[in-house]
Structure 1
Amino acid sequence: MVRPLEERFRTVRDLFPEFRVETRRGRLLVNESGTWQHNTILFQLLFQLVGPVAARGWEIWPNITVYLGQHADRYVPDLTVVPETPRMEEDHTVHGDSTLLLVSVVSASSFYDDYFVKPGDYSPNGVPFYLVIDPFRREVKLFSEPGGKEYGRETVAMGGEPLTLPDPWNLALDTGKLLYGDDGA
């Protein structure tokens, strides 16, 4: 007898806690941790987010599953920002509409999912902001204004250009530091 995907997901997640376990379109995906470049990008983003997040009483979670419905795919963003008391489905699963920002750093194997699949699942589930940092294209893309099957707004900044996270953030990200580790020069 084949076990339901949700049961297999939980089993694999429990067996491999050091890996990122997701479901996508009926498939279980077990992803290794990021490269040093991937982690440097996340460090640079954390450096820019930590002050505003702490000042508002929010939290940054690096390894949490996003709940998008009972039969929906399960994603584990590279970073998730949540309010002081987010709505949880389980201890390791936060509701998408109870997040403040989800972040994906594009890898060679995640391009299509990061740009096309995930936004189509996040928007109808009320994820307010989805940030895609793409070191290959040297761009940062912000999906905002969720509603229906797609986001109402997509803002792109090339490496070195500022990217503003709108209200409640009101924060300009330095994409040069994200993509180059410095001022973009």
Structure 2
Amino acid sequence: MTVMAERPTINGTEPDSFEGLLRTLDELDVPDGYQAEIIRGNIVVSPWSKGYYTRVMRLVCQQLEPHLPEGHVIERAPNPYVFPGDERAYGPDIHAAHAKALETADNHIDGEALCFVAELTSSTTRDDDLTDKVEVYGRAGIPVYLILDMQEEQATVLWTPSAKGYESRDTRPFGEKLSIPAPFGCVLDTTGFRAP
């Protein structure tokens, strides 16, 4: 095990095997208050969000739920979505997918089932949220990726997924309104997203 300040990682226990990492992830006894993801060939264990992040996640879900594509649900549960082509498994802070994709006994959900993801950055996850996840979510064809940069207090929406990530983006400071493109076609009011 390699430990990085508040962010331990475990190198793959079965050499060069994403499936081995997934099995290890499933068997991992993650301490209360932490979540585990597979990022760049490592299992990364990060602390859960600060208390007020729950308020922000609830506000996002309340505003987007009426605009979900038919048959889709939006959740804050830490479901692990898998991106085998990129050898990644992420547990987005907020995710929307067709309800049928969640009707599985499997621990791993197909990342391509997502129509929306949102990540709330923390000091330990910010770099991956702004770089690695942008590329992976875009390559997977997820139509909308919302980054709530809690350190800079700004919201960035990315859309038009491509092989390089996303072709379109818009950033607004917390407190302003942000247009969320198709398949939602609505406006997100970021009032109430700031730290207490």
User: Normalising to structure 2: TM-score of the pair?
Assistant: 0.79
1:120 matched to 2:120? The reply is no
Report deviation, 1:98: 1.6
The 5-angstrom pairing of residues 16-165 of structure 1 reads 16=29, 19-53=34-68, 56-61=70-75, 62-70=77-85, 72-86=87-101, 91-165=106-180
Please report how far the alpha carbon of residue 71 of structure 1 lies from its aligned counterpart in structure 2 after TM superposition: 5.5
SS of the counterpart of 1:157? strand
SS in 1 for 2:63: helix
More strand by share: 2
Secondary structure, counterpart of 1:121 in structure 2: helix
Match of 1:14 among 16, 27, 30: 27
The percentage of aligned residue pairs carrying the same residue is 21
Shift, 1:10, TM fit? 2.7
Question: Runs of 4+ in structure 1 displaced over 4 angstroms?
Answer: 87-90
Asked if 1 retains the 8 angstrom alpha-carbon contact of 2:78 and 2:91, the reply is yes
* Aligned-residue CA RMSD (Å): 2.5
Other structure's SS at 1:143 match:
strand
Q: Match of 1:11, as an amino acid? A: T
Deviation of 1:76 after TM superposition, in Å, equals 1.0
Deviation at 1:90, TM superposition (A): 6.8
Moved more, 158-167 or 42-51: 42-51
Partners of 2:106 and 2:27 in 1: CA distance:
13
Q: 2:42 and 2:124 mapped to 1: Cα distance?
A: 15
Q: Deviations along 1:84-107, whole A, 9 cap, x unmatched?
A: 323889723232222110110000
Count of equivalent residues:
179
1:100-154 per-position Cα deviation (integer Å, ceiling 9, x unaligned): 1011000011111111111111111111111100121111011110011121101
Distance 1:71 1:155 in 2: 26
**How far off its partner does 1:178 sit?**
2.7
Any unmatched runs of 5+ in structure 2?
1-12
Stretch deviating more after TM superposition (84-93 or 166-175): 84-93
CA offset at residue 163 of structure 1?
A: 0.9
CA–CA separation in structure 1 for the residues paired with 2:48 and 2:103 = 24
More helix by share: 1
Distance in 1, Cα, partners of 2:187 & 2:45: 33
CA apart distance, 1:167? 1.9
Counterpart code for 1:49? L
| 1:132–1:71 CA distance, 2 compared to 1 (3 A) | closer
Distance 1:90 1:128, change over 3 A: farther
Question: How has the CA–CA distance of structure 1 residues 79 and 46 changed in structure 2, closer, same or farther, with 3 Å as cutoff?
Answer: same
Q: 1:178 to 1:15 in 2, by over 3 A?
A: same
